[in-house]
Amino acid sequence: MANPSTSQAIEGLAAEIGENIYIDIAKWHLYLADAHLHMLLAERLYPLLSSNTVTESKVAEILQAIPVKLGGGKREVPLADLLPMQCQVSLMDLLEEFQRNL
């Protein structure tokens, strides 16, 4: 079973990501909480935070490795391709701030 403080930290990170980071589809902003991607992303990013190894390239690798199904699963697109550059910058800022508060 996961450490309760780790679970709480991941949930807190997921909440921050879900409220502040969005994918852009045809100029529509779909926040990651609404897309049900915030918890998955937080679970993948948290090990970087806890080991103090957050880098832009590692975050980009994680974003590239998360497939997002479109059209009922007809296509899969990496999450990295759906996040506007502004959101990628915001995600890095969010991660740095979250790591400082750990």
- Average pLDDT estimate for 8-19: 97
pTM comes to 0.93
* Mean predicted confidence (pLDDT) in 76-100: 97
Q: Sort strands 22-25 and 28-31 into parallel, antiparallel or unpaired.
A: antiparallel
pLDDT score at 76? 97
Q: Tens digit of pLDDT for each residue in 37-67?
A: 999 999 999 999 999 999 999 999 999 999 9
Quote the pLDDT of residue 1.
43
What mean pLDDT do residues 11-22 have?
A: 98
Give the mean pLDDT of the chain.
Answer: 95
Q: Is the pLDDT of residue 94 over 60?
A: yes
- E strand or H helix at 70, and its extent? strand 67-70
